[in-house]
Amino acid sequence: MTGTQIFERVAILGIGLIGSSVAHVIRANGLAGHVACHDSDADVRARAEALDIVDSMHADIAGAVTGADLVVVATPVGACGLVAEAMRAHLKTGAIVTDVGSVKGSVIAAMSPHIPDGVHLVPGHPVAGTEHSGPESGFAELFQNRFSILTPPPGADADAVATLERLWQGMGADVEIMDAEHHDRVLAITSHLPHLIAYTIVATAADLETELEAQPRDDELVTTREVIKYSAGGFRDFTRIAASDPVMWRDVFLLNKDAVLEMLGRFTEDLTVLQRAIRKDDGDALFEMFSRTRDIRRGVIEARQAGRFQYTENGKPSEDDA
């Protein structure tokens, strides 16, 4: 699909999975005249240059953002405040600054003090991703038919919001607008908690392996080999999610603490109900809950959010939402 050019110059800060996917699709769809880029990691900069997905690569933030009509901050969320501070003096009047972070409230709190008058902050979050990171993992179709949520702060410039909305639509996404607090509660249950559960279950299995390896072989119930061998069951999907970038997810949990803890509390209560049903041989309760969850999966498929990337064992793309 080829769109109409929306921006003269776009600066992407952080050229990992999301930043490089934005670069790919902007170029593929002709949405900007020039894509400038900065990443704090020299090795990442060299790899992104080799991929030929941006027009100019800059070792400093100033070089990338100077003259940009749109700045897309695509670093881990913990870096957004520092990045905003570093770009502050170099932003053009009338520019739009956005981000792609998985948490919105604390990112807005960290970035807004550094946004000068006349520059428009319109935070965003594409609900699309994979467990891979780095510039090589990006691809132009990542946002196709996925939601991109914009969380403009109260009083945000309506034209800037509309322009960013057009950009995301030009990148293939369906745009939703919501307030940051609502976003963080919704994503805590739909994305952050599932990742936390995946990290936990894989770590629990790893601990079990270690424990069993230390026991005499005759008593062994599960070995490392068996955990991997039988991971074609539900465990396999957990290992894929638990392979997600540790820096990104550390930041997400630290910066969406309240909402994640709230959802974790609710989840723990529901888990206890299931635990009790199993202990009491309450098959009806189990059946009722599993039937309800099956209906939810059908709803996800009907909403076209079931994930449509081809699963590959070692390569990209895979399927995941963040």
- Residues in touch with ligand NAP (CB under 6 A): 13-19, 38-41, 44, 74-77, 79, 82-83, 100-102, 125-126, 129-130, 133-134, 245, 247-248, 252, 320, 322
d(CA 203, CA 235): 12
User: Closest CB to ligand NAP among 101 and 212?
Assistant: 101
Question: Can you tell me the distance from the alpha carbon of 99 to that of 71, in angstroms, rounded to the nearest whole number?
Answer: 8
User: Are the CB atoms for 75 and 17 separated by under 8 Å?
Assistant: no
Token digits of residue 197: 């559960």
In this structure, are residues 293 and 278 in contact, taking their beta carbons and an 8 Å threshold? no
In whole angstroms, the minimum distance from the beta carbon of 216 to ligand NAP comes to 42
Nearer to ligand NAP (CB atom), residue 107 or residue 212? 107
* Residue 32 host element (H or E): strand 32-38
Closest distance to ligand NAP from the beta carbon of 151 (Å):
13
**DSSP per residue, 141-175:** TTTTT-EEEE-PPTT--HHHHHHHHHHHHHTTPEE
Q: How many CB atoms lie within 10 A of CB 27?
A: 16
Q: Are 160 and 189 in contact (CB under 8 A)?
A: no
**CA-based max dimension of the chain:** 72
Residue whose CB is less far from ligand NAP, 36 or 212: 36
| Minimal distance, residue 79 CB to ligand NAP, in Å | 4
- Which strand ranges, in their side-by-side order, compose the sheet holding 174-177? 124-126, 147-150, 174-177
Q: What is the DSSP string of 277-291?
A: HHHTT-HHHHHHHHH
**Residue 22 CB, nearest distance to ligand NAP (Å)?**
9
Residue number, 84 or 205, with CB nearest to ligand NAP = 84
7: which strand partners?
A: 32
Q: What residues contact residue 288 under an 8 Å CB cut-off, 6+ apart?
A: none
The least CB distance from residue 134 to ligand NAP, in Å, is 5
Residue 251 tokens read as 């930041």
Q: How far is the CB of 104 from ligand NAP (least distance, A)?
A: 10
Residue closer to ligand NAP (CB basis): 69 or 251: 251
User: Minimal distance in Å, beta carbon 192 to ligand NAP?
Assistant: 10
- Closest to ligand NAP by CB, 16 vs 170, is 16
Residue closer to ligand NAP (CB basis): 76 or 172: 76
Backbone phi and psi for residue 33, each to the nearest 5 degrees, phi listed first? -75, -35
Minimum Å distance from CB 119 to ligand NAP? 18
CA distances 315 to 51, 108, 146, 176, 194, Å, are 16, 34, 21, 30, 23
Give the shortest CB-246-to-ligand NAP separation in angstroms.
10
Nearest CA-CA partner of 20 in 95, 106, 130: 130
Q: 42 vs 221, which CB is nearer to ligand NAP? A: 42
Closer residue to ligand NAP in complex, CB, 147/282? 147
